[in-house]
Copies of this chain bind each other. A is one copy, B any other.
């Protein structure tokens, strides 16, 4: 997905918000904003906004001299999500359709995105999870379940820390012997890396790999060879979040996107309002429209 002009002021705003999140040093705030302005002025708008976000966050980590500036907040959101797990497992045990509920919870977890909203609080995230069934939903759960049943191998592309704990609820209801979970190859924003997969308990459950890249999405050309091979070989790919959507929506693989629509550009691309919880297949992108509440 290319970079819309509307993404440009948003990228600059996100750079400032990230700089303030990472350091109180005002000189770094100003330097990062100026560098972000220069970089976006020269950027190829044919690339996804994720490519620019990757560059901005590399500059920020370099300027602040911190390898993983979001580590503490990632731990906090993992902890929050883990504290909700027992109750959610209980809800799932009593649900008429546990897989459908697990899918909705995994999408709801996508609210934990400090790129779009750097000021997200734990209570806000908690409320979003608890009220998941009141959120507008668009997607064909029955077709998704069918695709899962038919797939010999499933590659699950995680998105954010915290969110990855809610992913676990869905992943443990998939055929785990055929599932590989991929996280980012290096710290960027609050995106999930290997320690988050471990904290979520996923490493004990399925194979977890990293993609070799520190982009807040899946920029295939920036991922390592091993990951690209897994991507090419997977029968079915489940991709979480806007970053993965922005970077993979033009790929021809058998991709299913699970995300919460958080900005007008993605909303326009999907033809769905901001706030919608979406399950959509890559090939279905051009014909999105109408509610669908089918169950597995």
Q: Interface size (A, Cβ < 8 Å)?
A: 19
Copy number in the complex reads 2
Closest Cβ of chain B to A211, distance in Å, is 30
Give bound CA distance, A138 to B8, whole Å: 36
Q: Are B12 and A6 in contact (CB under 8 A)?
A: no
Mask, A1-33, CB within 8 Å of B = 1, is 000011011101100100000000000011001
| B12 pairs with A9, CB closer than 8 A | yes
Q: By CB atoms of chain B within 10 A, which of A5, A16, A35, A42 has the most? A: A5
Distance to closest chain B CB from A160 (angstroms)? 23
Residue among B10, B16, B42 making CB contact with A6, cutoff 8 Å: B16
A30 near B16: Cβ-Cβ < 8 Å: no
* A37 CB contacts on chain B under 8 angstroms: 8, 12, 37-38, 40-41
Taking a contact as CB atoms under 8 Å apart, the answer to whether B34 and A41 are in contact is yes
Contact present for B16 and A9 (CB under 8 Å): yes
A38-B41, A41-B38, A41-B41 given; A33·B16 CB < 8 A: no
Q: What is the CA–CA distance of A40 and B12 in the complex, to the nearest angstrom?
A: 11
With beta carbons under 8 angstroms apart, the residue of B8, B29, B30, B35 that contacts A12 is: B8
Interface positions of A (Cβ within 8 A of B): 5-6, 8-10, 12-13, 16, 29-30, 33-35, 37-38, 40-42, 45
